[in-house]
Amino acid sequence: MAPGIFRVMNAPPLPPDPARPASGFVSLVGAGPGDPELITVRARALLARADAVVYDALVNPRIMQNGAVRADAEMHDVGKRGGVPSARQDAINALLVRLAREGKRVVRLKGGDPLVFGRGSEEAQALAQAGVSFEIVPGVTAGVAAPAYAGIPVTHRGVASAVTFITGHEDPTKVDSDVDWASLARAGGTLVLYMGVKRLREIVAALTAGGLSADTPAAVVEWGTWPRQRTVESTLGGIAHAASAAGIAAPSITIVGSVARLRGEIAWFDRRPLSGRRIIVTRARTQASDLATRLTELGADVIEAPAIVIVPADPAPLRDALRHLGEYQWVLFTSQNAVEIAWAALRGAGGDARRFAGVRVGAVGQATARALLDRGIAADVIPPRATAEGLGDALRQRPDVRGTRILFIQADGAGDALPAALRDMDTTMHEIVAYRTVPDASGTNAARDALTANSVDAITFTSASTVRFFLDALGGNAGAVGGARIITMGPRTSDAARMLGLTVHAEAATATIDALVDAVRDVLR
């Protein structure tokens, strides 16, 4: 047996056989209706390992950001906008076949469910014909999700025990000969119309001609499950006018049936504390965007404008200092970034939290303290005022600081407030620059557009440098923020904002995300 195994293991790889399709594989995946959290666990897993992603216009780009897709994955935007001829579909089919034949793991990402008015089954047919292996991963379809986010169930006991999903051409000149509107009018239950918005008037006429009462409740949900979701309610007779008066456009779902009335009782999405509010969150790209998540969950339409990026400094001095941690009595951190970078340097040198045994630790701000605690290090000093001066003051009060050796890990350009505060304490301070913050204008385009459209309710700033860099990206013009309220993380950030000509409307009571969120809620209440 052994020689056989030996031979197999040493066999040269088989040459590619052109007659046999390569080992590529296509997953036809539903991306859900828009809310990036309405994607399946399976879709996330497939995206994370895809070699190529082929996606549509209605797929929320956020689904593919923040490391959800490998940085080296091929991205193909095949978004079809407007009534594009079906030749495009052939090109998409051909692209899928080609990528699979190149041996790639392909994710074909489609809005909602891939097989609900999504032509996913046509792509499956093309793959089957080409002999390419594939699978189908269902998604949350807009016809169920958009009503749900509008507080409209598509079925309800005693009200509707059937639901019909219907599509109409967007092209108003085409007659939908394949939809029997008269029989739909008689069918009872709920009607859910995809792609009907431009033809609403015509569809309403066909339904009422078929005998459906013009008083039947109806609603249109535009951009369902997206932060910009809007809902218009009326009757079947009034819905076309109501939708056009409100300027409703695609994508939208129209619901016809008594279930639409339940919205009055169970609407929730548009009743959250920050629903309909647009907020720019300026925060460093590498920082967890928990602020954005919190505001989104409260209903806000958040535009993330990473005004700065964090660039770690040369790690050698930091590594060296951490190797000799035992020579210090204190280690001070001014930010979560400083903790993260120091920790990476420590781990890179094979160390861990035990190195901090016998060393006292000071942290500016709760987030910094939490970052330390997450790594098994409880800070000894967290000043009530989350600034370097605040830490200096707190240290001055302590009996165990005078004459000590202090390692101070901070950002470039952080100022010398802390060393100044301890100048007469006979301490030896070893300052290490762990990182620099540099402007990132690329992230500010969406924010600038929204400000120009005067559609921003508030802007949050978490540090003095984010204020500076954000205003730089706006061409240094404080007037560009228009009527947006300015809300900051603390006194230093507020000072920086005022110095640059901004009016500060609120400040977080403590330097925490919770307090900042509370301040936003207060201001926009």
CA nearest to 294, candidates 279, 309, 284: 279
Strand order in the sheet with 485-488: 301-304, 278-282, 458-461, 485-488, 506-507
Distance CA 422, CA 166 (A): 73
Q: Which of residues 234-273 bind ligand SAH (CB under 6 A)?
A: 250-253
Q: Which of residues 183-212 bind ligand SAH (CB under 6 A)?
A: 194-195
User: Which range of residues in 91-99, 217-225, 371-379, 465-473 is near ligand SAH by CB under 6 A?
Assistant: 217-225
- Provide, rounded to whole angstroms, the least separation between the CB of residue 262 and ligand SAH: 18
User: Looking at 112, 227, 390, 392, which residue binds ligand SAH (CB under 6 A)?
Assistant: 112
Q: Report yes or no: 361 and 372 within 8 Å, Cβ to Cβ.
A: yes
33 lies in the site for ligand SAH, by CB under 6 A: yes
- Provide, rounded to whole angstroms, the least separation between the CB of residue 1 and ligand SAH: 53
60 lies in the site for ligand SAH, by CB under 6 A: no
User: Which range of residues in 19-27, 79-87, 105-113, 462-470 is near ligand SAH by CB under 6 A?
Assistant: 105-113
Q: How many residues in the shown chain lie near ligand SAH by CB under 6 A?
A: 24
User: Looking at 43, 116, 239, 291, which residue binds ligand SAH (CB under 6 A)?
Assistant: 116
58 vs 96, beta carbon nearer ligand SAH: 58
Three-state SS at 434: strand
Secondary element (H or E) of residue 27: strand 25-30
User: Which range of residues in 140-148, 276-284, 286-294, 366-374 is near ligand SAH by CB under 6 A?
Assistant: 140-148
Distance CA 373, CA 67 (A): 25
231 lies in the site for ligand SAH, by CB under 6 A: no
CA nearest to 176, candidates 205, 147, 154: 205
Distance CA 178, CA 145 (A): 25
Q: Report yes or no: 454 and 426 within 8 Å, Cβ to Cβ.
A: no
Distance CA 84, CA 312 (A): 47
Number of C-beta neighbours around residue 397 at 10 A: 9
Q: Catalytic residue among 51, 64, 195, 489, which?
A: 195
151 lies in the site for ligand SAH, by CB under 6 A: no
Residue sitting closest to ligand SAH (CB): 112
Distance of CA 35 to CAs 41, 62, 81, 100, 223, Å? 14, 9, 20, 29, 10
56 is an active site residue:
yes
Estimate to the nearest angstrom the gap between the alpha carbon of 344 and the chain centroid: 26
- Provide, rounded to whole angstroms, the least separation between the CB of residue 350 and ligand SAH: 50
34 lies in the site for ligand SAH, by CB under 6 A: yes
- Provide, rounded to whole angstroms, the least separation between the CB of residue 304 and ligand SAH: 20
- Phi and psi dihedrals of 521, rounded to 5? -60, -40
User: Which range of residues in 64-72, 221-229, 488-496, 498-506 is near ligand SAH by CB under 6 A?
Assistant: 221-229
225 lies in the site for ligand SAH, by CB under 6 A: yes
Indicate the residue type of 101. Answer: R
- Provide, rounded to whole angstroms, the least separation between the CB of residue 272 and ligand SAH: 18
Query: What's the token pair of residue 440?
Result: 């990132």
Distance of CA 360 to CAs 145, 324, 369, 431, Å? 52, 14, 13, 16
User: Which range of residues in 64-72, 104-112, 347-355, 442-450 is near ligand SAH by CB under 6 A?
Assistant: 104-112
Q: What does the CA dihedral 111, 113, 114, 119 come to, rounded to 10 degrees? A: -80
Query: What's the token pair of residue 442?
Result: 């690329």
Distance of CA 20 to CAs 16, 106, 132, Å? 8, 18, 10
User: Looking at 100, 132, 146, 259, which residue binds ligand SAH (CB under 6 A)?
Assistant: 146
Q: Which of residues 443-482 bind ligand SAH (CB under 6 A)?
A: none
Query: What's the token pair of residue 286?
Result: 């590498």
User: Which range of residues in 125-133, 218-226, 276-284, 342-350 is near ligand SAH by CB under 6 A?
Assistant: 218-226
229 vs 427, beta carbon nearer ligand SAH: 229
User: Which range of residues in 81-89, 108-116, 129-137, 496-504 is near ligand SAH by CB under 6 A?
Assistant: 108-116
E-strand stretches of 216-323: 217-222, 230-235, 252-256, 278-282, 301-304, 308-312
User: Looking at 109, 137, 142, 310, which residue binds ligand SAH (CB under 6 A)?
Assistant: 142
- Provide, rounded to whole angstroms, the least separation between the CB of residue 251 and ligand SAH: 4
Q: Catalytic residue among 35, 51, 56, 113, which?
A: 56
Three-state SS at 436: strand
252 vs 427, beta carbon nearer ligand SAH: 252
- Provide, rounded to whole angstroms, the least separation between the CB of residue 110 and ligand SAH: 6
Indicate the residue type of 68. Answer: A
User: Looking at 221, 361, 447, 474, which residue binds ligand SAH (CB under 6 A)?
Assistant: 221
Distance CA 45, CA 26 (A): 14
306 lies in the site for ligand SAH, by CB under 6 A: no
141 lies in the site for ligand SAH, by CB under 6 A: yes
- Residue whose token pair is 């995809």: 194
User: Looking at 224, 257, 306, 390, which residue binds ligand SAH (CB under 6 A)?
Assistant: 224
Indicate the residue type of 219. Answer: A
> Which sequence positions are flagged as catalytic?
56, 80, 195
Q: Which residues bind ligand SAH (CB under 6 A)?
A: 33-34, 58, 110-113, 116-118, 141-142, 146, 194-195, 221, 223-226, 250-253
